[in-house]
Copies of this chain bind each other. A is one copy, B any other.
Amino acid sequence: MKGKPTSFDIAYQAGVSQSTVSRALRGSPLVSAETRKRIQAIAKQLNYKVDKNASNLRRQHSVTLALLLFEDATSDAALVNPFFLSMLGSITRACAREGYDLLISFQQLSDDWHADFQDSHKADGLILLGYGDFEVARHKLEKLVEQGTQFVYWGAVEPGQPGISVGCDNVQGGRAVTEHLLSLGRRRIAFVGDASPHCPEFFDRYRGHCEALRAAGVPVVPALQVEAMDSSEKLGHAAVRMLQERGQKFDAVFAASDLLAIGAMRALEESGLRVPEDVAVVGFDDIPVAAFASPPLTTVQQDTRAAGEVLVQRLLQLIRGEPSESTMLPARVIVRRSCGQPGDTDATRMAQLRRAS
């Protein structure tokens, strides 16, 4: 046998036409069971695999999805957002289950958003993770819609957004974790995270936060909110310093992400403040290290497993021309020690590790 066998080789051995081989292997009902069986046996024996490129070319689709992870050009080249990473598993598996292959690519925020993948027929649709400044991203997303690109993205879920998005219920998450802080007696809660349309997810978390405060009759103090557009330990650290420079007193910090929260805790520690005794700290995301922070971080868990599933489902609906819609997933407060209430540390830590590994 020279080179890879083709459907003609199978046909020859089976004594049928190449068309019949193709039909049999694609599961067409137009082939008799007996013929199909014979063909399959020979294909298996010859280790024949349908040539994807030929099949794709002919059928005009690739049965492949592309996962585009956007990252800041300024950040170190080896970084991958741990939150997105945790979605990777479920996305991959959902694709596999649906018979789709998954291309993965890291993109610079500044680049053209590669409709390239679809234009070149490398992928039938795109999953976008991480868009940076949403006001900038919005235009790019709108262009994608215009071009007829099939895509879904993880982010805020709000009316008027371009395309289909999947995200967690940030308002509810922000509300729930703030209520928890309030129930522990905290009243001056700082919020670390941008509260503007540039960061709709952080903004929604802030909205939920404010809702909870108002419902409890606690005043919303603008000076207790500090901008942080990105999610990093450094920005969280800087935010606490900023609050202190403002001379604001606070007994809790709600950081819009775990990375911000961890940086905030470090800054507090350095100022001689104890977490949670002096200042309670909560984050958002429940990234793997959250359970290992000192103290272990109370946070809001987004269901990354469901997230991956839903992203793939929505994208496939788009590709198949079925009705599809943006979807919000529930958020869940995970209580650990950083908020001042001894949580079930051991159990959550085990669960975390399991998710991490």
Contact = CB atoms under 8 A, between A and B. Distances in A.
Interface of A: 4, 47-54, 56-57, 62, 64, 67, 76-82, 85-86, 88-90, 92-93, 96, 101-106, 116, 119-122, 147, 231-233, 259, 262, 287-289, 292-294, 304-305, 350, 353-357
A331 to B, nearest CB: 18
Nearest to A80: B89
Given A52-B62, A80-B85, A101-B105, 4 more contacts: A51-B121, A52-B121, A104-B104, A231-B357
A103 B120 CA distance: 16
Copies of this chain, whole number: 2
A62 B101 CA distance: 14
7 contacts: A80-B357, A82-B357, A85-B85, A93-B106, A96-B106, A103-B103, A233-B357
Lowest 4 A-B CB distances belong to which pairs? A292-B292, A49-B119, A53-B57, A53-B56
A23 B250 CA distance: 67
A90 B78 contact: yes
B88 A51 contact: no
B103 A102 contact: yes
Nearest to A237: B350
Given A89-B79, A106-B92, A233 B121 contact: no
Central interface residue in A103, A104, A287, A357, by most chain B CB within 10 Å:
A357
A104 B92 contact: yes
